[in-house]
Each structure stands twice: as C-alpha cells, then as structure tokens.
Amino acid sequence: MTQELSKQSNRLQDGGRIDRSKPLTFTYNGKQYKGFEGDTLASALLANGVDIVGRSFKYSRPRGIVAAGAEEPNAIMQIGSTEATQIPNVRATQQSLYNGLVASTTNGWPNVDNDLMSWVGKVGGKMMPPGFYYKTFMYPKSMWETYESYIRKAAGLGRAPKENDPDIYDKMNQHCDVLIVGAGPAGLMAALTAARAGARVIIADEQNEFGGSLLSTTEALNGKPAAEWVAEVVEELSGFDDVLMLPNSQVNGYHDHNFLTIQQHCTDQFADRAPNGQIAQRLHRVRAKWVILATGAHERPLVYGNNDLPGCMVANAVSTYINRYGVAPGKDLVLMTSNDNAYRTALDWHDAGRNVVAIVDSRKNPQGTFVEAARERGISILVSSGVIEAHGSKRVTDVSIAPLNEVGDAIVGSVVKMAADTVATSGGWSPVIHLSCHTGARPVWNDDIVGFTPGVTVQKQLTAGAINGAFSTVQVLDEGLSAACDALAHLGLSKPDVVLPEADVIEEGKAMALFHIPHTKPTSKAPKQFVDYQNDVTAAGIELACREGFESIEHVKRYTAMGFGTDQGKLGNINGMAIAAKMLKQTIPETGTTIFRPNYTPVTFGAIAGRDCGELFDPKRYTAMHAWHVERGAKFEDVGQWKRAWYYPQGNETMQEALDRECLATRNSVGILDASTLGKIDIQGKDAREFLGRVYSNAWAKLAVGKCRYGLMCGEDGMVFDDGVTSCLAENHFLMTTTSGGAARVLSWLEIYHQTEWPELEVYFNSVTDHWSTMTISGPNSRKLLEKLTDYDVSKDNMAFMDWKPMTVAGVPARVFRISFTGELSFEINVQANYGLHVWKELFEKGAEFDLTPYGTETMHILRAEKGFIIAGQDTDGSVHPFDLGMSWAVSMQKPFSFIGKRGMQREDCVRENRKQLVGLKTLDPKAVLPEGAQGVLDPKAPIPMPMVGHVTSSYWSANLNRSVAMGFVKGGLDKMGEKVYYPLADGRVIEAEICSPVFLDPKGERQNV
Amino acid sequence: MSDVTVEAMEGKVVTNQLPTGAIVGESPLHHSDLASIAEKGPQQGGVHFHERKLKGLLTLRCTPSVEQLSLIESLLGVALPMQPLTSVTADAISVRWMSPDEWLIIVDGEQAFELETRFQEKFSGHYALVNISGGTTIFEVSGSHVVDMLKKSTPVDLHASEFPVGKVVSTVFAKSGATICRLADEKFELVVRRSFADYLWLWIQDASREYGLVVKA
C-alpha cells in the first residue's frame, strides 16, 4: 500500500472515500498509473500529478482538470482497451476508475505534452478568430473542405470504434409518481419523504454513489459526518419495493409530458467490456407524474489572464478532490473568491497539510464563519484584490495579484507576484438549470445569488435545493422536504413522519457579483482570459463579437461558439453573458441567456439504439411456409416487413436463368407462389356491399355470392393507391385482398371512412391477413394438380373463372379462388395458416408429375407484366388515376352514391389532353431490355434538355415470348399506339420502342378462361 | 360437401377451418422446436416462456344492446367484460376487452367453430365474429423477472397498482404489437400475430438473457 501511495505524489495519507487497500492499475496515454477503488479517472490522474489532460480546441493550449463533475470542460477522454470498446467524449470526472482502464486524450496532436500545434496559440490564435466558421463559410468557400479536416483533427472530438461494439445496450420503460434528479441533500431528503409516503420513486444521480455535495463536505449532520446520514438514507431507501435507485445515471433529457431519459452506466463504470451477458448501458425512458429537479449548482470560475493553465481549478472541485478522493492536487494554493463559501477550499487545503499562499478576496470586508476559521488558522487574506494573471507554461508557477476597486472592474494599485502551483477560484454558484430549460422554461435572473434559476414551467415539475439558489445545507434539506410534500399533495398522498437532520449553522457574508477580473492591459491585449474552455472562447473574443455588432446573446453564442457542443455552457455561460452585458452596457437580465437543449452530457449511440440493432433492427415477418422456402434455397426480398421468396435458384443458375425456368414451367405446366402476404380483410354487415361501392372505383352492387372481382382503390384526389380482388362470401360477407405492403394502410383507410364519414353504415372490418395461408397454383396443369388433392368438382362448368368455392384440399378445409395474376388457369388456395405448410407440401407431393415449380415474386412480376397487369406502387406512384392506367373499365361513374376519388379524377387537370398514360413498350430490338426508370423522348435528336414524355415502370426479359416486355408512361400514350418512343441511356445507347397495348401475351384471355 | 360445413344465415359464411383426422397443425413457432428446448435447455431462470399454441381465437365486434349482452353471456358462458381494459378468464373460455366494440375470445382450438356456429344460429343484429386462430398465437411469460423483461419491450406501466391481474391492453411490443393480459402477479399472456411471432420470440429471448430464460413445453 505504501508503495502504491508513494507513486501517487498528490495522494493524501488518509481521508476520502477511496479504498487504499484496493489499488487499481490504469493506462493513460500509453503509460501505466495506479489509483484506488473509489477514484474517478480524474482523481486518479490528479493523484499521480498528471497536469495536462488535453490540448485546447482552437489554440492548442495545454489544459488540466478544472472541475470534479459533469461540468468538466477539459478532461474529455477516449476510453477503451480494444478497438471494439472505444467510447469517445467521456469526462474523466464522471468515469469511475477500474482495473485495466485504458484512457487517452481526445485532443492533442501528436501528443498532449508536446503539441506541434501550440505555435498557433503562441502567435495569437489569429488563424481562428471568433466567427472563424462563419467567415470561412462566406469566403473562400473552396477552402472549407481543407479547413474542415484540419479542424476536425484539432478539435479533439474523439472517435467512434471501427469495429462492432460487443457490448449490450438496452432500454427500459419506467413509470413513477416522483422522479428525483440528483441525490444530493435535497434529492435524498425528497426521496426519503416521498418513499415513506408510499410513492413510487425513482432517484437518479450521475455519480457512482449518492450524496452529492455531502460526500465532500466537512459539515456535520445530526452531529455526525454528513456521509453517515447519507448512508442511513440510502439504506432506508433500498428497503422500499417501489423505490428505484439509479447511481451512475445521468438524466439527460427532459421532454414533453414529463418524459425523461436517463442513461445508466451499468457495467462500463467498472469494466471495459460488460461481463458475460450483462448490460453495459441502459437508457431508462421514464414517464413521471411529478419531477423534482434537485440538480444542484456548478461553481463558477473567475475569468483572469491565463486562467486555463493546468493548476487553475474551480474552488469546490479542489475541496472535492481533497475530501472525497484524498487527493490534494498541488502544494501551494492561491484561492481567489468573491464569496465566503469558497473559503472552505482554503480550509480543506490547509487541513490537508498543504500551504495556502493567500486567499485573494475581491470584497473589502469579508466576514463570516468560514472567514473567521481561515483567520484562526493564520491564513493570509488579501482583501479588495484579484488574481489578474497566472504564469507558467505547463503548470502554474506564479500568480499576479492586484488590488481592485469596489466593483472589481479596475486595478487600483501595484501588482505583486506570488509563487503558487494551484489557483482555485470561485465567482459564486450557477444553478444547474439545464433540464428545466429542456422543457422550454426561460431562466430567470436572481440578483441575490448572481445567477439564473429555473423559469416558469408547463410541466409537472418541482425544484429543490441549490437549483433554486438555496446553498446552505439547512436550506437545501428543507427545500427537498417541501418539494416532496408538494408532490405528495398533488398525488393525493399524505405527508409522512420526517424530521430534518440538524445541520451546522453557518454565517455567510454577502457575496460580490464578479465575473471578469481586469488586467493591467486592455482585454484584447492581455493574456488570454478564458470563458469557455472547451470551445476556447475568451473574454476578448466576446468583446470582439460585441464590437462587430452582435448584440443578441444568441448571436454572440453562435459567433463565438460559447456553450456549444457537449459542454453546453456549464462553466462559462454566465461569465460570457456578464462580459457581453458589460460591453453592451446593459444588465445581465437585459442581455438574457441562451438556453440549453438535450442532452445534458453526451449519450452513446449504443444507448440510443438499444436492442433495435442487428437481427432485431426491424421485425421480419414470415409466412407459414417460410421454412420450406429457406430449405429450397430461395433468395428473399423485402416487401414491407415481409420476407418473400424472390426466386429459387437451382445449382449454379444465375438469377435470369432461374427466372426463365420458373416462367416457362408456369406457362407450360404449373407453378406455385406463396401469396400469404397479401393483405386480407374480412368485411361483414348488411352495408358491406354499399361500403365497397364507395371505397372502390368500380361497381359492387351486382357481385353475386361465390364471385370475385378486381377493384381499384383511389384517394380523394382520384389517384390509385391500392388494388386487389374482393370476393363475395355471402350476401353480407366479403373478403377483400390488398397488396402485401398496403394491408395496414387499407384497413386504416376503411376504418377512417367508416368512423368519420359513414358511421351509419353497418359494417365491420377485421384483418385476417395472418389467419390464412395463401398458395397460388398457376398454369395449364393447375386444375389437374388440384383435382389430385380434392374431391370437389373444379371443372370449368362447376367453377368458372372468378368463382370461389369452399372445398377440402389435402384434407384441410379451404377456400379456393379462381383468380389469376398470371393470365393462366389459376387457383388460389387459402387454408388456416397452421395447416399452410402441410397443404403446400402435399401440393408438391402430388405436383411432382407436373414438375410443380415454386416461383417467387420476381417471376410473378414477369408473368403479370406479360399480361399487362399493374402493380400498385410500381406502375402507379400516387399521380395516376384509373384512366391514366387505361383502366376505365374499372370505374363506374353511374353508382347512385359517389365513391372516393370520383370528384378528384374529374378535375380539370385529370381530364386534360396529353396526361401521362400507361402503355406497353415493345422494343425494336427484342433482346433489348429497357431499364426501369428510363425516361422516354419522342425525338432523340432534340437538343438537351430533351422534352421527356414519361418513364418505364416495369421491364423484364420474357422467356415465354423470347423478347423483352415493358410498360411505362407516355404523354398521351393511349392515342399514340404504334408510334415510336426513344430511351436515351446513360451509356450513350438509345433504345427505340413502339407504343403498344401492355398485354403482350394472350390478349383475348383464353388461357385463364379454360 | 360433407366435410366442410357452410352456413349462410344472416348472409354470412361460417366454415369449419380445421381438418379432421391426423393432420397436425403447426403453430407460428413450430420451427423453433420449443419442446426440445424445454427438455434440453436451462431449467432455472428469471423468465419462463411457453407457447400456448393452436388455441381458438375469435374477434367479436358488436355494440351490444342489453338483450344482446345477456344473449352473448348465454352463448359464451361468461359475461362480456364491458369495462375498458378488463378481461374474464374462465376454464374453458377467456374474453379480453379490445376496444369499445371489440373483444378477443380465446377457447380451445376445436371450440372455435362451435362457437361461431352458435352465434350464427342464435345471434341476430349487426355483429361480426371472425376466426383469427391461424393468424395469432399466445405466449405465456412468467417468472421473477418477467416484469423487467416486459419493461424492455412495452411502454405500458406494469406496476401492480396500474396493471392488476386481469387487466388487458393492446399496445406496442418492441417494434410490433401484442395484447397483454396479466394472469397472475408474475404471469402474463401475450397474444401476438403469426407473422411477427418469430421476431417477438427472438426479442423475448434477447430481453430475457440477463435473467435466464426457461422454455416450458
């Protein structure tokens, strides 16, 4: 242990919440270090005396750890011991240390300690002044790509893994009465109160243990160390079934209707890769009846010259490292403050046995409990003074201190230089209002605390503690209690017995509003005074923006990049606004604030994707015969979410060879298609027939029981959106079929019209798509095959084309429809889906003698194209009505009641001359297959741009006809039969085609009518 | 036509859709061979899965009058649950409220046609009773971590105070949907569509992994 300690130069001999008996080894920038269980990566780095953790974005200046929580702007790491487990943009202050952790800085090129780019900073950063992006966008535009790659590299945004992440990320939906964000004193008090009242509580905190500020305070609660009270509360909370405690969990987004997202680090806090099957990170999707924001406050650093040198830190962070992690991050401290609170840091430093050089207080006459304590310890206090500049190259070595005037905006005496390696500063506390802003609430300035507090919200949201500007422990605990009581009252739960723990009473003197410490030189000439470390925004940059005419704080933000990106202005926003306000000669509330958006800290893509990846990315829908298709070596195609057999290659067949074989087999003998995916809707009721007449363009009044009819469905605009065959099962009972992809839409369409337009019609619609397995046997031998499997008389006389009959097929009751999408004699056999595969296999058993050939969707497309049958969605695109398709036979203008689309298809534009109309396209060269999508022209010699007359919608090689077949749109095409149309292709060829009927095969329909 | 019963009263067709004899139906998860997994797979785990297969499932649509309600009760043997999101579970029949004019009826596979016939014969007025047995299957999920698994899958609140035994909701389940009914504190029934069954089975396996999944025959 001693050995471990001796290597950690800044580690204290005792104290803190780390376990010195559990040393951990980690690697940072390729070098091994030791830390202890309970450390964060940041505390372990500081313990080891690592000063530089990155290089700044614009000026490439060396940067050190500034803070101890989510607000850390500099220590942004790339974590991961293998390529596959890389995580970018992790704040070292939020990453628990574990054995074997591998971290590297995300910026600093080629390395942080000796950066080739630092000359940029030294020559004054003129390469990227504020507004660099905008000025570059304006001119010279051609250079942007060059700049971008260079900025990317310099900006240190981390990188995504190049390999698949082996870890599991998932999501969980949560519901609760009260969601408490933050488990500091306010959050814990609220949780305890709500839990005792029997409420369903979720309490989340970004830290690895609950307690918040109480984990690093020296204050007592109930006369004992505050951490003991924390332990008692945590113990009690864990005993409630309805309390979910989420440490290592950031509430990252606060969305509408009290929906919040929490990113929980489940195992990546202690392992590079989740142990066997465990979840690495989980995104909780929480719906809370009430939300209590107990998010606390971030201490605000002061802005002074070279305030970004490693060794310059936020005061409270220094205390946290000492008290919680047993790390004193330096030897000689100068504390600069505008308030009493920060005196605690000097006390902690002193009590840790380190040297406090001086407390530099901007106020004239500081008084209060902590001030007295400092005086008692003999610490030197310089009043009415400020640190105007830090000196050093890779770490602070000295500071310049100067007397300030009463308001802190001018130097009123001579500058003294003191040696120090650490500068802690405090300009007061900024409430963490980020989540409250996510709801759209505008923050409200509060002069008393010199900060913004949450604005009026429309959400069921309460706030407690430092977020409201209540900073003393007594006040914070009390606010936690009352917020919980408010929530309980809203929930109708009664207040339980709770007693506030007794906290130390602390007298604090009035704080001073101070943001930007003046320098002996004007801001533009002074050493850089950083406002936003992460985005390298300086006081001079903000002043320049104001001088250039940016008056709105939103514009200043965008011009300078202040508060951009993953930082979200946690440390710098208010200082920046104060500087802008001063330049604009107005108050901070007049200047206003920018607001924050989700997410509070970066979220991994893994957590966002959850389990919706890989095999589970999107549902795959299967028919009852799917296993057979797989076994038969089918290639599949996606139709909606369905996996449909596309074609069934045999041996070394190419796709075209397989298609030719399938097409010929079907037309010459018999083929079979799994058509189970077709949408099927059972329609019942005495008004079913009337309803059909209104939603289809054709007539349904006279369709007899036992008969089937093809119908076109149009939108209000008269454009075709779906088609299919509907069969009359009984007088008041129909079965509608739809396209595979259109099933859900058609059912909704029917319901919308029934529920909103014609509720008086007595009709019910029910989806039976999945209930029936549908197999179509098609070809001249299809009847012979069917006869082998049924006793029913399926002769032409008993079962004519467009009849349906109930019969038993292969021992299974079936509905058989004599409808055809191939133009061949066809039977569509429907059986209850649990028997689909049985019947399918029986068909093959009996079909062997006819060489029954399975065919997929591609052969189906070819066979129907030979017959000129359209596919809704391929030969239609929402801009064509039935007349454009040459399907006037499927429109009945005589129906007593109107039908959907009737008015639309009679609009002036729909009846004009020269609309694009669907025609057949017969290539002059029978071997030439037009590419689908090719645009036709009437004059191939016309100058470019040639007037285009329409595109090819369907085009295939037809083995049956030994030539190509195609359909496409041609302006006025129905009147241009026999005329020529030309298709100039990208490769320079021009394919010539004759406009013809789309029916290439068996124009009289004799084959299907046998 | 002796082996297929067709009736056309009320202008509707009711057909026996099940074969007689030795032909065995194959449920949507038939290909997964759950019986073998049940035998050879893990016997301990936080989530138990069982496919209650080849049941008779029917959708009843109607807006019943008082007289029709009592008629329906006599036809079903149980009263129709009229309160939204409630259900009735008896030995031979379960009824799930689906929407203000829709119920899901679950009976043994062979009972579906009998029930359809009973309605066809006795019920008058506007209604629809549609057999969806082939298009659906039932997953029964249970165990000490069943709620955790479900919380990964559906946004509905499953806490006993909000989702007591007997409650039924039809809602989003992963990227598909399910009709979820709580059968006991740690036992739920999911009625899912045939074509999505494999996806949902994969999803449940995945979501159960950290708790251990036990397949029950």
Q: Minimal CA–CA distance to A818: which of A797, A840, A791, A800?
A: A800
Smallest CA-to-CA distance from A532 within A552, A561, A553 is with: A561
Question: What size, in residues, is chain A?
Answer: 1010
- The reported pLDDT for the residue numbered B9 is 54
Question: Is B198 part of the contact surface with chain A (CB cutoff 8 Å)?
Answer: yes
Q: Which residues contact A36 (CB under 8 A, 6 or more apart)?
A: A4, A18, A19, A20, A22, A23, A24, A44, A97
In this structure, are A762 and A886 located in the same domain? yes
Q: Tell me whether residue A632 is in a domain.
A: no
On whether residue A203 sits in a domain, the answer given is yes
Specify the length of chain B in residues.
217
Which residues in chain A have their CB less than 8 angstroms from residue B128's CB? 682, 684-685, 764, 766
pLDDT for the residue numbered A57:
74
* Helices and strands per DSSP (H, E), number in chain A: 24, 49
CA nearest neighbour of A829 among A790, A871, A800:
A790
Q: Which of A320, A308, A360, A317 is nearest to A338 (CA)?
A: A360
CB contact under 8 A, B196 and A619: yes
Give CA–CA dist B54/B111, Å, rounded: 11
Q: Quick one: residue B184, left, alpha or beta (phi over 0 = left, psi -120 to 50 = alpha)?
A: beta
For residues A227 and A374, state if they share a domain: no
For B105, the 3-state DSSP assignment is strand
CA-to-CA separations, A867 to A820, A862, A870, A967, A1005, in angstroms, rounded: 11, 9, 9, 10, 9
The vertex-A536 CA angle with A530 and A537, nearest 5°, equals 60
Q: How far apart are CA A920 and CA A523, in angstroms?
A: 77
**Which pLDDT does position A141 carry in this prediction?**
52
Is A335 inside a domain boundary? yes
Task: Quickly list H helices, A69-203.
Answer: 118-122, 132-138, 144-155, 185-196
- A279 and A403 housed in the same domain: no
Of residues A801, A848, A863, A864, the one with CA closest to residue A828 = A801
Alpha-carbon distance of A300 to A296, in angstroms, equals 13
DSSP-assigned states of every residue in A626-695: HHHHHHTT-EEEEETTEEEEEE---TT--HHHHHHHHHHHHHHT-EEEE-TTSEEEEEESTTHHHHHHHH
Q: Does A960 reside within a domain?
A: no
Comparing CA positions, the residue from A20, A5, A68 lying closest to residue A41 is A68
Q: Does any domain span residue A188?
A: yes
8 Å CB contact of A611 and B206: yes
Cβ(A877)–Cβ(A722) below 8 Å: no
> Do residue A173 and residue B151 have CB atoms under 8 angstroms apart?
yes
CATH classification at residue A742: 3.30.70.1400
Residue ranges of chain A whose pLDDT lies below 70? 1-6, 107-157
Residue A770: closest CA among B132, B29, B201: B132
Residues A275 and A176 in one domain: yes
Q: Do B134 and A773 touch (CB under 8 A)?
A: yes
**A positions 287-346 inside 8 Å of B (CB):** 287
Q: Which of A277, A768, A813 lies closest to B16 in CB terms?
A: A813
Quote the tokens at residue A72: 């850390």
Label residue B117 left, alpha or beta by phi (over 0 means left) and psi (-120 to 50 means alpha): alpha
Closest residue, chain A, to B26 (C-alpha): A834
Lowest mean pLDDT among A985-989, B96-100, B164-168: A985-989
Whole-angstrom Cα distance, residue A916 to residue A204? 61
Chain B contact set for A682 (CB, 8 A): 128, 130
SS3 assignment, position A862: helix
As a whole number of angstroms, the distance between CA A706 and CA A801 comes to 11
**A263 and A310, same structural domain?**
no
CA distance A839 to A849: 17
Chain A residues with CB under 8 Å of B196 CB are 619, 621
Range of the domain at B66: 29-215
Structural domain total, chain A: 5
Distance (Å, whole) CA A49 – CA A62: 15
Establish if B166 touches chain A: CB-CB under 8 angstroms: no
Task: Say if residue A14 is in the same domain as residue A63.
Answer: yes
Residue B94 reports pLDDT greater than 70: yes
Give the closest of A685, A767, A833 to B126, CB-based.
Answer: A685
**Is residue A754 in some structural domain?**
yes
- Per the CB < 8 A criterion, the answer to whether B134 and B17 are in contact is yes
The three-state secondary structure class of A875 is coil
Name the residue in chain B with its Cα closest to that of A259. B155
Q: A863 lies in a domain?
A: no
E strands, A756-825, where? 764-767, 772-778, 804-809, 812-817
**Token pair of A773, please?**
């397995």
Residue A200 contacts residue A217 (beta carbons within 8 Å) = no
Residues A487/A292, Cβ–Cβ less than 8 Å: yes
Instruction: Check if A286 contacts B (Cβ < 8 Å).
Output: no
User: Do A202 and A187 share a structural domain?
Assistant: yes
Tell me if A851 sits within 8 A of A866, measured CB to CB.
Answer: no
> Are A249 and A264 a contacting pair, CB within 8 Å?
yes
Residues A278, A174: one domain? yes
Q: What pLDDT is stored for residue A138 in this prediction?
A: 47
Q: How many CB atoms lie within 10 A of CB A161?
A: 16
Query: Which residue bears the tokens 């900025």?
Result: A151
CATH number, domain containing residue A563: 1.10.10.1100
Q: Is the dihedral of CA B63, B66, B72, B73 positive or negative?
A: positive
Q: Any idea of the CA torsion for A466, A470, A471, A473, to the nearest 10 degrees?
A: -100
Q: Is the omega angle on the peptide bond into residue A301 within 30 degrees of 0, that is, cis?
A: no
Q: Is A838 on the interface with B (CB under 8 A)?
A: yes
Helix ranges restricted to H, A326-368: 343-351
In a domain, B41, yes or no: yes
Cβ distance B174 to A619 less than 8 Å, yes or no, reads yes
In angstroms, the CA A305 to CA A417 distance is 13
> Would residue B111 count as lying in a domain?
yes
In a domain, B133, yes or no: yes
B33 in a structural domain: yes
Per CB-CB distance under 8 Å, the chain B contacts of A173 are 151-152, 154-156
**Cβ within 8 Å of residue A146, ≥6 positions away:** none
Q: What is the CATH number of the domain that holds A389?
A: 3.50.50.60
Domain final position from A443, A473, A491 = A491
Q: Same domain for A370 and A435? A: no
Query: How far is it, in rounded angstroms, from Cα A228 to Cα A222?
Result: 9
Examine the domain organization and report whether A447 and A527 are in the same domain.
Answer: no
**Alpha-carbon distance A955 to A993, whole Å?**
12
Q: CB A732 to CB B12 under 8 A?
A: yes
In chain A the first and final C-alpha atoms are separated, in Å, by 95
Q: Output the domain CATH number for residue B114.
A: 3.30.1360.120
Bridge-partner residues for A712, per DSSP?
A723
User: How would DSSP label each residue in A18-54?
Assistant: -EEEEEEEEEETTEEEEEEET-BHHHHHHHTT----E
Which of A860, A891, A911 is at the close of a domain?
Answer: A911
- Shared-domain flag, residues A461 and A569: no
Domain that holds residue A284: 168-297+431-491
- What is the rounded (10 degree) CA torsion for A421, A427, A429, A432? -80
Does a structural domain hold residue A249?
yes
- A569-586 in b/e form (b: 16+ CB < 10 A) is bbbbbbbbbbbbbbbbee
- Condensed to tens digits (0 to 9), the pLDDT of residues B27-55 reads 999 999 999 999 999 999 999 999 999 99
Of B54, B195, B207, the CB nearest to A770: B195
Total domains, chain B = 1
ipTM score here? 0.96
For chain B, the first-to-last Cα distance in angstroms comes to 37
Same domain, residue pair A40 and A135 = yes
Q: How far apart are CA A194 and CA A180, in angstroms?
A: 10
